[in-house]
Chain A
Amino acid sequence: MSVSQSETAQIQDSEDIVRLRQRVRDVMKNEGFSLVDQTKMVTAASELARNTLIYGGGGTVILDILKSQVGRVGLRLFFEDHGPGIADIDQALKDGFTTGVGLGLGLGGSKRLVNEFVIDSGPDAGTRITITRWR
């Protein structure tokens, strides 16, 4: 597997969330992802970017286009913030769990919308989430 293209974006306000949605949509269109795949990944990106902003106090996202050895194309997004982190990840992944103003669908919902979902967090350790969708 190799990374054929990589870029970084800031998530510091709600307009950055809109910009990320548009960027993910454009990249996936270019790479020939189906409309449903695009919509799922864009929605997952929107949820996680909002988490980064609201709970993480802002952060960054790295967008990588992947090429597997057998020629599959994927899009990987890596969200990172240096906020308070998540104490209980299992609980945070459950639908309806929220410590804030949201619906509590962000993490669990995003996980269902992508092919691969990896989360790394802990108290006072910030949060790093990687999602990948393959074409």
Chain B
Amino acid sequence: MDTIPILQLDDFLLISIQVEMHDRLALQLQDELTERVVKTKAKGVLIDISSVETVDSFMGRMLGNIALMTQLLGAETVVAGIRPAVAITIVELGLSLPNVRTALNVNSGMAMLRQLAGTSVGGNGHERQPE
């Protein structure tokens, strides 16, 4: 069965979606990611979807859910690399991603996360109590 690797880089978690997302995989990613945010005390999550050819309402909802869940756990989520054809389709579908920050590519996504972490209240950003 497919899994999506979650990589850690400093205070951030990185995911690159390289496989066709079926619904069960999307839900599994949601669960694993929130657990990893807590375990690693990550300040941010970057989701690279530059290889993703289709974002339907289910996938959009998953991205929105992940952003909201990680926010509740003290980490920001940035979605990077939305393809132009996917962006056009998302808008016509009527999908809005209110909680989701986006960046053109992984580089600017990481820069955005570093900036968000650097400006968070308390300086080092570790406001949460350990488990």
Task: Enumerate chain A interface residues (CB-CB to B < 8 A).
Answer: 14-15, 17-18, 21-22, 25, 35-36, 38-40, 42-43, 46-47, 50, 95, 102-103, 105-106, 108-110, 112-113
Contacts and interface: CB of A to CB of B under 8 A. Distances in A.
B93 A46 contact: no
A50 B93 CA distance: 15
The B contact surface, by secondary structure, is: helix
B92 interface: yes
B20 interface: yes
Given A102-B58, A105-B57, A106-B57, A43 B88 contact: no
A30 to B, nearest CB: 16
A110 B89 CA distance: 10
Contacts of B15: none
Contact of B93 (A36, A43, A102): A43
A40 B93 CA distance: 9
Given A14-B22, A113-B93, 9 more contacts: A21-B20, A21-B54, A39-B86, A40-B89, A43-B55, A47-B93, A50-B56, A103-B61, A112-B92
Contacts of B125: none
22 contacts: A14-B22, A14-B24, A15-B22, A18-B20, A18-B21, A21-B20, A36-B89, A39-B53, A39-B86, A39-B88, A40-B92, A43-B54, A46-B56, A47-B57, A50-B23, A95-B94, A102-B57, A103-B95, A105-B57, A105-B95, A109-B94, A109-B95
A112 B93 contact: yes
A77 to B, nearest CB: 14
Interface string B20-60: 11111000000000000000000000000000011111101
B108 to A, nearest CB: 23
Contacts of A21: 20, 54
B85 interface: yes
Contact of A14 (B23, B57, B86): B23
